[in-house]
Structure 1
Amino acid sequence: MKTRYSFGGDEHIFVEIDEEMSLEAFFKSLSMSKAVREATIAGVTEICPANASFQVRFDPDVIAPEALLTRLKSFEAVAETAEKTIDTRIIEVPVFYNDPWTHETLMRFRERHQDPDATDLEYAARINDYPSVETFIEAHSGAPWFVSMVGFVAGLPFTYQLVERSRQIEVPKYLRPRTDTPRLTVGYGGCFGCIYSVRGAGGYQMFGITPMPIYDPKAEQSYLKDLFLFRPGDIIRFKPIDREAYDAAIADVEAGRYEPKIASVHFSLDAFNADPEGFNAKLLEALDG
């Protein structure tokens, strides 16, 4: 991987680890951004991590741009040899696939879609060579997902499925973005999944909806004291549910008694690469144990 450094105006340096997403690039970016944070460099005011990159904001009156660039490059060699491990959490997210709300929305925007005659799930299944929507949903929910970034809108997680690259689902975004997406839609664009934390515009394919809030500015849910549920490095298991289970979960949310299943886990990239299916099984056991 060839790291690229570039200036963004007078107050930012953008550090791009790789042009494409990979867990290797994520861990290198994580290690470097952590090193920058721990170094407490005078003049650095903000560090913003992304999928395979990060951006540093600084005060040029405190530290010269070239001086900061030299400091940032000094962290790269250490990041190359750092252990690619993280103590994190696995979180179960129930999903009502093929739900009526995202279906109604996607039907309003078919003229913006690659295949106006198919639903988003049907299109995604076909171009990924799955024989049916049901088998596609099994693949989508059958392996856990790694949260590589949180942002764009408040609390929205970008997720990357923990499978071999040959098994990665790839689905393009809409030809033109929608002006509406239901809150808590489970979407997909390129190689990334996401959960729309709020209602609004969007261009990702819509596969379903979760009843579980992931962003709570009113602090009404006990498990959302920090406002946002997800942070980079979290792992998600999508659990398919039916309408009855969805309605029951919504009732619990409205009563303030909903509690997601969350377990502490240790993630090792080397162990995952050595045996993806076996490692994933151990991750999922942490939720079921």
Structure 2
Amino acid sequence: MKTRYTYGGDEHVYVEVDDEMSLDAFFISLSLSKLVRAANIPGVTEICPANASFEVRFDPDVIAPDEMMARIKELEHEAEAQEKRLDTRIIEIPVFYEDPWTHETLMRFRERHQDPSGTDLDYAARINGFDSVASFIEAHHAQPWFVSMVGFVSGLPFLYQLVEREKQLQVPKYLRPRTDTPKLTVGYGGCFSCIYSVRGAGGYQMFGITPMPIFDPEQKISYLKDFMVFFKPGDIVKWKPIDRAEYDRIIDEVEKGTYAPKIAEVAFDLDAFNKDMTGFNAKLMEALNDV
């Protein structure tokens, strides 16, 4: 890995730990951004973390851009030595795969897709070497996912699959973006899954929908009263396939204010994960069974 530092106009320094996503790059980026925050560098107004990078916004009337960059660079070796361990939580997210709403939307935009003759799941299954959509869906939900970034639109999580790199699912985005995506669509682009927090334009493949809101600017939803955004970097997600009846039941509970996401406190240790991914994932998922 070779960290790249660049300027973003007069008020930003962009720090890219690696040009591709990996958990090693994520942890170095997270550690370095935390060290920048802890250093209380005069003039820093905002730190925005991403998948394997982060951006620092600063006031150039307080600190010159070259000095800002130099201060960040001084912290890099310290970040590499940080322990790659994170106290976090694993969350069960219900997903209604092959739902009618994303199906209606993807059929409206077939002319923008690589395969106008099928569905997004048909295409994803085929290019990843699965003999059926059901097998692909199982691969999508069987192992946990790591939230590496929250953003792009408010509350949207980017999720990175916790499996060996050669087993990771990969699906390109639409050839041309859609002008519509249902709220809470579970999407996929590149090596990342996501949940569209609001309705709007999008280019990720659409696999299903969750009944669980993840963004509420009015903070009326019971589990979002403390903060309007549900996810934060470092969260771990386990998708749970559900049918229409379960989807409707959860929607009703959300509206009544009685729905509570299934969450367990866990520790993520990168070294332990890399030594035994299957065993480590099994322990993560076992924690949900005790909730």
TM bracket, shorter-chain basis: over 0.9
RMSD: 0.6
Amino acid at match of 2:240: K
How far the C-alpha of 1:77 sits from its partner, in A, is: 0.3
- TM-superposed CA distance for 1:220, in Å, is 1.6
Aligned pair 1:257/2:254, yes or no? no
Instruction: Map 1:31-110 onto structure 2 (within 5 A).
Output: 31-110=31-110
Shift of 1:106: 0.2
Q: Which amino acid aligns with 1:37?
A: R
**Secondary structure at 1:193 match in 2:** strand
SS at match of 2:240: strand
Cα deviation, residue 118, structure 1 = 1.0
Q: Does 1:14 align with 2:14?
A: yes
With normalisation by structure 1, the TM-score equals 0.99
Aligned 1:1-289 pairs, distance under 5 A: 1-225=1-225, 226-289=227-290
Q: Give the whole-Å Cα distance in 2 for the aligned partners of 1:131 and 1:30.
A: 38
Query: How far apart are 1:257 and its partner, in Å?
Result: 1.0
**1:190-224 per-position Cα deviation (integer Å, ceiling 9, x unaligned):** 00110000000000000000000000112121111
Unpaired segments ≥5 residues, structure 2: none
Compute the displacement of 1:255 (Å).
Answer: 1.0
1:232 partner SS: coil
Question: How far apart are the structure 2 equivalents of 1:7 and 1:199?
Answer: 33
One-letter amino acid of the structure 1 residue matched with residue 139 of structure 2: A
**Amino acid in the other structure paired with 1:33:** S
Q: Which consecutive aligned stretches of 4+ in structure 1 deviate over 3 angstroms post-superposition?
A: none
Distance apart, 1:234 and its partner CA:
0.3
Quote the Cα distance in structure 1 between the aligned partners of 2:248 and 2:43. Answer: 50
**Percent of paired sites with the same residue:** 72
Work out the CA distance in 2 between the residues paired with 1:38 and 1:265: 25
Q: Structure 2: how far apart are the matches of 1:220 and 1:256?
A: 9
Shift of 1:66: 1.3
Number of aligned pairs? 289
Give the Cα–Cα distance (whole angstroms) in 1 for the partners of residues 8 and 213 of structure 2: 35
> Which structure 1 segments of 5+ residues have no match?
none
CA distance in 2, matches of 1:198, 1:155: 9
* Pairwise CA distance, 1:241: 0.4
Question: TM-score normalized by structure 2?
Answer: 0.98
Task: Measure, in 1, the Cα distance between the counterparts of 2:37 and 2:219.
Answer: 28
